[in-house]
Structure formats: C-alpha cells, structure tokens
Structure 1
Amino acid sequence: MGILSRASYVIRSKVNAVLNRSEDPTETLDYSYEQLRDELQDVKQGIADLTTQKKRLEIQKRRLEENVEKHNDQARQAVKQDRDDLARQALEKKKQKMSQIEELEGQISQLQSQQDQLVEQKDELQRQIEQFRTKKETMKARHEAAKASVRVNEAMTGAGDEMEDVSRAIERAEERTEDMEARSQAMDELREDGALETQLDDRSQLDRELEAVQQDGQVDAELDTLKAEMGEERVDDAETSEDGDEEALGAELDDDAISEVDDSEVEAELDELKEEKK
C-alpha cells in the first residue's frame, strides 16, 4: 500500500468514525424506509411501462388479425371471379400477416412473463417494506426510550453537557456576584472616607472639609460649656462640704469637752473610795 493509499484509508476511517458518532439511528431508518419505497415505486413504474408496451403489441396483433380476415375474404372473392392471381396475392399477404402475428404473440408472451415476474417482485418488496416499517417503528421507539433514559440519568448525575453548562453558568454567576459585592464594599468605603463625591452633592471637597471643621468647633464649644457648668456645680458642692465639716468639727470638740468632764468626776470618785478604805 502506497503512502497516498494509506493516507486516503486513514482519512476515510476518521470520516466514518465522525459520521458514526453523529449518526441518528432514527433518521437512518427513515431514510432507508424511504429508499425502499422509492424502489417499490420504480418497480410499479416498470410494470406500468411493460404493460403499456404489451398493450401496444396486442393492439397491433388485433389489427393484423383483422387484415388476415380481410385478405382471406379477398382471396375468396377472387376465386369466385376466377381470378386466381388476385387470390394468390391475397393469400400471400395473409401469410405475411399471420407470420407477423406469430412474432407478436411471442413478444406478448415474453412481456407477459416479465410482467408476472415484476408483479411477484413488487408484492415481495411490498411485504418486506411493511415488515421493515414495523421493525423501524419498534427500533425508533426503543431508541427514543433509551435516549430519554440517558438524559434522565445524566440530569440526575450531572454528567451531561447541559448540566456542565449549568454548573459553569452558576460559577460565572457566583464570580460576578462576588465581584459586584467587592465593588459595592469598596465604593462604600471610599464614600465614607470622602474620597468619592456623590452626584447629588454639589459641594466641593473644600466646602465639606470646612463644614466638618465648623461642626467640630461647635462640638468643642458645647463641650466647654458643659465642662463650665459642671465646674460651678463642683464649687457649690465643695462649699457645702466645708460648712458641714466645720459643724462636725465643733460637735467633736463638744464631745471632747464632755468626755474630759466625765473623767475628772471619775477621778474624784476614785479618790473618795480610796479615803474610805483607809
């Protein structure tokens, strides 16, 4: 085998492999069924053509038979008129026509045999087509059932191309959603930091910073006012506390005086007891 022959063989093999993978059995069966129907139609057309040819020969035969009768009558009339020469000519034409009739009968018989054979072939082909149609429908039903089962199993297991496409679509949707969430968070962060200006805010960055400083100043002033108020309250509390301390101190001194008096009395009573003992 030469190089070109081997290359051609490899190419045909690959083409056949691709066709086998892409071939739909139901379409192949339908195509084969239509081919058989076309062949049956050709057989019927052949039978019709052959029958037409046979009918033409039969018509030609009837005309020759009529001529035979005519020449026979002519010969009889010529004999009655003692014209043997004319009778002989009529009989010779009669013989020629009869010879032609024999040839036509042979052709007609042959055409009839062919017609009978074609009719038998047509009937057999029609029976085969009916059987093939039944098998075809059965095979198509089995194929559709098997294909449906495969689709269901692929859908349940996720092994089909459609489920793979769905998985990819989900992955792409998740990626786009994550990107959108990250972008949203980034925009919120930039907006909070003041890095982005909103479309509805016609103030400049300088105006916003000055307003922020002004707000901070107002807050500081309010805080100072609050501290001042709290300081006055603390002074009043301190004065009140000092007055209370003085009163408490006086009370303590009085208590000390009372305690001193009581001690002298105790000493006096003790001395008296000592004298009585002596």
Structure 2
Amino acid sequence: MSSSSNGARVRTIFRSKTTKALDRMEDPRETLDDSYDQQVKLLQQVRVAVADVATAKKRIELQGEEMGARYQRLGSQAAEALAQGREDLARAALERRAMLESQVAALQQQFTSLDRQTAQLQERERRLTDQVAAFRIEKETIKATYTASEAQVKANEAVSGISNSITDVGSSLDRARDRVAQMQARAAATDELLASGALTDLTAAPDADIERQLAVISAQAEIERQLAALKGGASAAGGASEQAGSGSWTSIGQAGSAGQG
C-alpha cells in the first residue's frame, strides 16, 4: 500500500474520531436537559420570591390589624376620658389616634403594593410552570426521537460494516481461487517439463535418465521381435496362441524372456 493511501486512511480515521467527539460534545439531549434545569431553577427563584412577598404582605397585614386595634382602643379611651371630665386626656388620645391614622394609611399603601406584586408574581409563576411543563414534554419527545435516530444510524452502520466484510470475504475467495488455479497450472507445466527432460529431477537416482532411455529401446526391440514372429507363419502364431491361452496371467510376457534366455 502506498504512502498516499496510508495518509488518506489516517485522515479518514481522524475525521471519524473528530466527528464522534463533536457529536458527544454537542449531544442535544444534554443541551435540552441543561436548559430544562435552568428553567426549573428560575421557577424555584420565582416561587421563593412569591413566598417572600407573601410573607412580607402577611407581616404588614398583622401589623395593620394591631394598629387598627390600637386605633379603636384610643377612640374608646378618648370617649371615656371625656365622659369623666378629662378633656386633656381625651385630646391626647385623639392626637395619638390621628398620628396612628397617618401610619395606617402608609401601611395600607405598602399592603396594596405588596398585594399587587404578589398577584403579578403568582401569575408569572403559573405561566412559567406551564412553560416548564410544556418544555419538559417537548424535551423528552425530542430526546426519544434523537435516541431512536441514533440507534437507527448505528444499526445502518453495523449493516454497512457487515456488507463491507462480506465484500472483503468474497474478494479473498476470488483471490484464493486465482492462486489455486495458478498453482495447479504451474504443477501441470512442471510435470510436463520434468517428463520431457527439460527439468532435472533432483530426487531421481544417478544415471536414471540413461536407464529410462534403455528401457524405451528394449520395449521397442520387443515389439519388433513379436512383429517378426507374427510374420514367420501361422504355425508360430498358433503356437504362441496356445502358449498364451494355456497359461494363466502369470505367463504373460514370460515367452519373450525365455526366448532371450
């Protein structure tokens, strides 16, 4: 494999790993969960604010009730002092009552402001609660869809990997078949060359080539002898036939040897 192919493979692997790392960094499920957590924290802050304002409102309400009771008591004391002829005490009670009335008026304004602020915060809390609930449903839907899509991508990649593996296996089989065919052809060719003497059989005994050639000459001489015997006459042929017919298979080829002997 060339260096350029290796470089391309390395770049492909690097891009693949980088893409997977970015996918993990930009996982929308984690982003949605973070956004949801932030909205929940904001909702909690609004609820704490509602509770604080409601507490302040209740404190002013209790203080106003206490001041109202004192206002009524000062009025009763002024009437009782006047009935007993103590106009000076009645005047002092009424003066304190007048001062208390101005304090109650200021307290009433604070109470009204806090009451309006409480209503606004409660309305914001209600809307934010609805928004957080809706966002949670949409978040879980998107997460489920993303998870399903991710599983589908992994399944497709797995199938693609299996397909590539099958393709590689098929290529390997084709290459193996070609190698076997080449080896068989080479074996047949070397057999022919060895038989023709073009190649030397290093495993054969010394002078085997001479013995092989002499064996061929002897076989040819035997054929010529048998042919001459056939031409010599029917009697010789009949005698040979009787000898061949009377004997078993073990006598085949023995006549020529006896004649030579």
Q: Shorter-chain-normalised TM-score: which range?
A: 0.5 to 0.7
Shift of 1:70: 1.2
Q: Which runs of 5+ in 1 are unaligned?
A: 1-17, 168-278
Post-superposition Cα deviations, 1:230-258, rounded to whole Å, max 9, x if no partner, equal: xxxxxxxxxxxxxxxxxxxxxxxxxxxxx
Large movers: runs of 4+ above 4 Å = 18-21
Q: Which runs of 5+ in 2 are unaligned?
A: 1-20, 169-261
Cross-structure match for 1:143: 146
| Pairwise CA RMSD | 2.1
Residue among 37, 41, 53 paired with 1:38: 41
Read off the aligned partner of 1:156 and give its amino acid letter: V
Shift of 1:19: 6.2
Instruction: Find the aligned partners of 1:95 and 1:20 in 2 and give their Cα distance.
Output: 73
Superposition pairs of residues 9-88 of structure 1, within 5 angstroms:
22-88=25-91
Instruction: Find the aligned partners of 1:60 and 1:88 in 2 and give their Cα distance.
Output: 25
Shift of 1:21: 6.3
Cross-structure match for 2:190: none
Instruction: Find the aligned partners of 1:19 and 1:97 in 2 and give their Cα distance.
Output: 69
Instruction: Report the secondary structure of 1:158's partner residue.
Output: helix
2:120 is equivalent to residue 117 of structure 1: yes
Shift of 1:158: 2.2
Cross-structure match for 2:97: 94
Instruction: Find the aligned partners of 1:98 and 1:20 in 2 and give their Cα distance.
Output: 69
2:131 is equivalent to residue 128 of structure 1: yes
- Highest Rg: 1 or 2? 1
Cross-structure match for 1:260: none
The count of residues paired between Structure 1 and Structure 2 equals 145
Instruction: Find the aligned partners of 1:19 and 1:116 in 2 and give their Cα distance.
Output: 46
Q: Say if 1:100 and 1:148 are closer, same or farther in 2 by CA, change over 3 A.
A: same
Superposition pairs of residues 170-185 of structure 1, within 5 angstroms:
none
Shift of 1:23: 1.6
Give % identity: 41
Instruction: Find the aligned partners of 2:64 and 2:86 in 1 and give their Cα distance.
Output: 29
